[in-house]
Amino acid sequence: MTSDKNPNLTVKALQERLRLLEDKQELHELLDQYCKTPDRHDFQGHANTYAEDGQQQYGPWGAVKGRDNIARIIKKNESNVVDQLHYMTNMRFEIDGDTATGTSYLIMVVIRDAEKRTDTLWQGGPYEWKFLRTEEGWRIKTMKLQATWMNREDPLGVFSTAMKV
C-alpha cells in the first residue's frame, strides 16, 4: 500500500511502518551474526549478540547468563568443532517499542574430524527469543533452544546432556 492509494495514510503512520520494517531487518541481521560468529569460532562476537545481562537456555547446557559466561560456555563446548554451519529459518518477530519477541528454527551441521568430513552431526529444533533495543542496537535478552532431533548420537556429548555448564 502506498500513500497514493490511501490518502489517509499520514506521515506519522508511514514513519511507524518504516520503523517496524527497519526493526525487523535489524533483528534478522542480529540473528545472522548470532549464527555466523560461532561458525567462525568468534565466541566473544557470538556473546556480543546478547544484552549485557542476556541469557541463553539450551537444554543440555542449562541456563547461562551474561556475555562473559556465554562466551566461556560456547568456547568450552564448541572450540573442538572443525566446522559447523548454523542455519536459521522461519524467523518471526513481534515488536513492541524497545522490546520484541520472536521464533525461528535451527538446522545445524557439525564436522568434528577434518579427516572424516562426511561424518557429520545434524541437529535442529525451535528457538524462542526475547530482544531488547539497547544503545548498541537490538540485542538478545533471552534465547531458548529446544533441540528436538539429531541424526545420530553425539559422540563427544557437546550437544547432549553429557556436557555441563
Supply 97's cell numbers: 517499542
Residue 47 near residue 68, CB atoms below 8 Å? yes
**Residue 92 scores a pLDDT above 90:** yes
State mean pLDDT over 133-144.
Answer: 98
Q: What is residue 157's predicted lDDT score, i.e. its pLDDT?
A: 59
Please list, residue by residue across 74-89, b when 16 or more beta carbons sit within 10 angstroms of its beta carbon and e when fewer do.
beebbeebeebebebe
Classify each residue of 63-73 as buried b or exposed e, where b means 16 or more C-beta atoms within 10 Å of its C-beta. Answer: ebebbebbbbb
Q: Averaged over 9-38, what is the pLDDT? A: 95
pLDDT at 162: 41
Please tell me the predicted confidence (pLDDT) of residue 156: 55
Looking at every residue in the chain, the average pLDDT score rounds to: 88
pLDDT at 1 over 60: no
Residue 115: predicted pLDDT = 83
Q: How confident is the model at residue 97 (pLDDT cuts 50, 70, 90)?
A: very high
**Residue 98's closest CA among 149, 23, 16?**
23
Q: How far apart are CA 8 and CA 13, in angstroms?
A: 9
Q: How far apart are CA 15 and CA 103, in angstroms?
A: 25
- Greater model confidence, 121 or 49: 49
pTM as predicted: 0.86
Measuring CA to CA, how many Å separate 26 from each of 94, 111, 112, 126, 147?
Answer: 13, 30, 32, 20, 25
Task: Flag whether pLDDT at 148 surpasses 90.
Answer: no
**Right CATH for 11-150 from 3.10.450.50, 3.40.50.720, 3.30.830.10, 3.40.50.970:** 3.10.450.50
Arithmetic mean of pLDDT, 108-134: 90
Indicate whether 78 pLDDT > 60.
yes
Judged by DSSP in three states, 23 sits in helix
**Grid coordinates standing for 91?**
524467523
Q: Please compute the mean of the pLDDT values over residues 37-47 and round it to a whole number.
A: 96
Instruction: Report whether pLDDT(58) > 90.
Output: no
